[in-house]
Copies of this chain bind each other. A is one copy, B any other.
Amino acid sequence: MVRNIIITAGGTSERIDDVRMISNFSSGRLGLAVARAFLEAGAMKIEKIYYLCDRNTNAPTDDRVEVIRVMGVQGLLEALEQLLTTKKIDAVIHAMAVSDYTVKEVTTLSAIRSGGEPGGDSRENSGGDSGENSGGDSGKPSSGEIPAEGKISSEIDDLVIVLKRTPKVIGEIKKLQEDTILVGFKLLTGVKQEVLIETGHKLLQKNRCSMVLANDLTEITGEKHVGYLIAPDGTYEKLSTKKQIAEAIVRKTRALLAEMEGMVR
């Protein structure tokens, strides 16, 4: 039986203006390792891997991989919705480091303190004209207003970015396709192992994942990558490299798919 897989990988980028964004340090290498492990798994015939990542993430090159570049959390949600409502997807490996926040408004400290609400649709493009080659000044004289389009002036002394929380993407996946196998990821930083396992297991239960890979930023350096692959019953397997993690995810996904197929027969 041929399989269709979605892998989300790397970080998301939330647009501030035409040239600036908020992004994260995610390298996307774990997602890449998972893609390779699926492509090299001989016992499993992959028809297509839909590889969702942002414009700067390295993606695998293979005839069976369709790379879909998404912009921000909203772009990721739209791409997932499109795929999961039109195609049978056997598994979703949601390794992307999704931004918790997106940009609500760009304003100034003084505007916030005076209770004003600059911005909104009436804003004019009023980019500054600074001496630095920092990309996309409009060249027009700065009026101190914040542009909704174009590039924000480089000459504002108290610029402020107001953020808002993004929707939880992982919670949407099983709603969009009930029977898909969902692999979640949880990255914490500097916590005890039991907290890591517990938090990962909560994520699994809340979002009906088939497994969750929990890892800690302080245990990831170059090739070394400690991860705990947690099962629905709370048991886990400890892994030590990206390759090991990727192979374990593929092995367990394959076993689950074989099991499901057996039940259907």
Partner of A136, one of B130, B162, B169, B189: B189
Indicate if A109 sits at the interface (CB-CB under 8 A).
Answer: yes
What number of A residues sit within 8 Å (CB to CB) of B?
Answer: 74
In the assembled complex, the Cα of A130 lies from the Cα of B185 at a distance in Å of 12
- Which B residues are CB-close (under 8 A) to A134? 24, 97-100, 187
A160 and B157 contact, CB distance less than 8 A: no
In the assembled complex, the Cα of A137 lies from the Cα of B189 at a distance in Å of 6
Closest residue of chain B to A26 (Cβ to Cβ) is B135
Within residues 1 to 55 of chain A, which ones have a CB less than 8 A from any CB in chain B?
A: 11, 13, 16, 18-26, 55
Partner of A133, one of B101, B186, B202: B186
Interface residue stretch chosen among A61-69, A148-156, A227-235, A257-265: A148-156
What residues make up the interface of A, taking CB atoms closer than 8 Å to B? 11, 13, 16, 18-26, 55-56, 94-101, 109, 112-113, 115, 125, 127, 129-140, 150-151, 154-165, 168-171, 184-191, 195-196, 199, 202-203, 206-207, 217
